[in-house]
Structure 1
Amino acid sequence: MQRDEAQSTLPAGTRVYRDIAYGSHPKQRMDIYVPDGAANAPVIFMVHGGAWVVGSKSASRVVDNKVNYWLPKGFIFISVNNRLLPEADPLEQAQDVARALAAAQEKVRSLGGDPRRFVLMGHSAGAHLVMLLSADPAMARQFGATAWRGTVALDSAAYDVAEIMKSPHQRLYDRAFGTDPGSWQRVSPSAQIRPGAQPMLLVCSSPRRPSCAQAKGFDSSAGVAGVRAEVIPVAKSHAAINEDLGKPGAYTATVDQFIQGLIR
């Protein structure tokens, strides 16, 4: 286990444990950022985006502003890599995230974290993956994960994959989801939502029309299942919704208020 305390961009006293393995594949790794004096700390568990084919747990837009905002508030922050296309399809990627979550819940016990106070977060494709687990937590339980408090989805536009694939869409979805309508249902959070799922905050880019339409559709499905979901349109680009989270302002405050309500 590598430990790195030398990064000047991080809050003073931060301990960073890099490339913690949760499987044998080189992509099955996570980085853990721990504030000074952590004790029974809540945990934000972050999955990067990248169209299910690229992305990195250590990208500055994934990590920097979030760590600098939530670590001084006493949170541990975990950033996760997973296998990507073509080696792993989105369902297998979600299973990787479930494996990582189970490993992280166990690992934080020795780092001052509380495994009972996890909040899942993901951006873009990563938001799709955490929402797939959140819609039906049985998948995560199969890989040893225990209950978490809730989920923040940062601008996923893939809640109802069947709807996407039956309409004009970007080519990236063909590569990710293929041509089998049965598999579209299995990777659609809107189709997988089950009663008893934890609360979810769905941030969507208001200039990016499909994103908010998909989020509102999921919100309706969640309501039928009796699950609390809240859609927050934000007048930011797809990239800025990720990178700007943690910067001072109403957007960060709204997300933080939701998270603080979960971990009390």
Structure 2
Amino acid sequence: MAGFRLLWQIPAALLVLIFLLVFINEFATARPSQRTKDIPYVTADSPDFDADRHVLDVYQPRRKSAQLRPVVVFIHGGNWDSGSKNLYSFVGRRLARQEVVAVIINYRLSPAVRVPGMADDCARAVRWTSEHIAEFGGDPNRIFVMGHSAGGGLAALLAVDNSVFEKNGLARNPVKGAILDDPAGLDMFDYLKKMAYPGDKQYLVPFGKDTAVWRAMSALYQVNAQSPPMLIYTGSRTYPGIAGSTQKFHERLQQLGVKHGYKVLAGKKHVGMVTQLYWKNNLIYRELREFIKVKPGSGPEKRG
């Protein structure tokens, strides 16, 4: 409530100016991109089809290109029980502005499904992407996954666990790399065994009580020497569970010789790790462009 009282002390003209500047910035960001909304990635006749959750949005640069562009599939966070692609249009717009075809997905949430069902949904969304993204100017042979929080854990799992694609109709894992932004759930096997923090029992709803599932849904135990390269970021002020499991994941990648980058961003909390993606020249975007090999000088962002 104190925050609201402070807000009303700001002169009305200044508030109007702030909102106008935000609107102008968003318009300028959106203008070079085209969004196609609410595309189903599961057929309506599937027995588990969910019209609200089995959909995705595609953001593509308006400027035509003679070559297919790299693709980033973004998976939102939300504690495995909340969140929506609609909250992350700023990620789609900014990726498209940087000559990337972005796919922002929804997936079913707890308690409707548990994490294995969420992983299946994400794999089906990536399968749809591999089959259709060329229609939007994206390269099906250059698909990368990206996620924050719970979405980061799911993105990591897709990158390292080929079996989730095999069970969803793809003989080959199409993911060429992963960008993990303060990922949660990289080692839920250890986390749920310890139950070290108040409220940890809530995670038995999305993960269930079967320890084999905890392990199977933890990317730490699925990663192998053939896993694709990754960029991994965590905040220095994030939750201890995320900091600890991300460090363990980094060490495991080192042991296996998997190419990756790992950075702890000073002063960043968990939410700040994703809100920083609002800024077009954020460190993560800069390194992402190099990681996925965006053609130098091909987009507006390359002008600095």
Determine the structure 2 residue equivalent to 1:127: 152
RMSD over equivalenced CA pairs, Å: 2.3
Distance 2:284 2:41 in 1: 32
Deviation per CA, 1:199-254: give whole Å up to 9, x if none: 11121111123322211101222233332233211131211211212513445423
Q: Which of 13, 35, 39 is 1:20 aligned to? A: 39
Pair 1:206-2:236 in alignment: yes
Determine the structure 2 residue equivalent to 1:187: 217
Determine the structure 2 residue equivalent to 1:70: 95
* 1:121-200 mapped onto 2 (5 Å cutoff): 121-145=146-170, 146-167=173-194, 168-169=196-197, 170-200=200-230
If you compute each CA radius of gyration, which structure gives the higher value, 1 or 2? 2
Distance 1:135 1:96 in 2: 16
Residue type of the alignment partner of 2:287:
T
Distance 1:189 1:232 in 2: 18
Distance 1:234 1:172 in 2: 28
- Check the 8 A contact 1:215/1:231 in 2, yes or no: no
- State the number of aligned residues: 254
Residue type of the alignment partner of 1:188:
S
Deviation per CA, 1:79-127: give whole Å up to 9, x if none: 0001111121111101110000010121111111111111100111111
Distance 2:107 2:237 in 1: 29
Distance 2:152 2:99 in 1: 24
Q: Which of 241, 260, 264 is 2:293 aligned to? A: 260
Distance 2:93 2:32 in 1: 12
Distance 1:181 1:87 in 2: 20
Distance 1:52 1:249 in 2: 26
Q: 1:155 to 1:229 in 2, by over 3 A?
A: same
| TM-score (structure 1 length as normaliser) | 0.87
Structure 1 runs not aligned, ≥5 long: 1-6
Q: 1:172 to 1:233 in 2, by over 3 A?
A: farther
Q: Which of 239, 244, 253 is 2:271 aligned to? A: 239
| TM-score (structure 2 length as normaliser) | 0.77
Segments ≥4 residues shifted beyond 6 Å: none
Distance 2:212 2:175 in 1: 29
Deviation per CA, 1:175-218: give whole Å up to 9, x if none: 22232222111111111112311011121111123322211101
Determine the structure 2 residue equivalent to 1:222: 253
Deviation per CA, 1:109-159: give whole Å up to 9, x if none: 111111111110011111111111112233224424542220011111321
Determine the structure 2 residue equivalent to 1:55: 83
Compare 13-22 and 45-54 and name the one that shifted more.
13-22
Displacement of 1:9 after TM fit?
A: 6.1
Q: 1:82 to 1:260 in 2, by over 3 A?
A: same
Query: What percent identity do the matched residue pairs reach?
Result: 26
Determine the structure 2 residue equivalent to 1:44: 72
More helix by percentage: 2
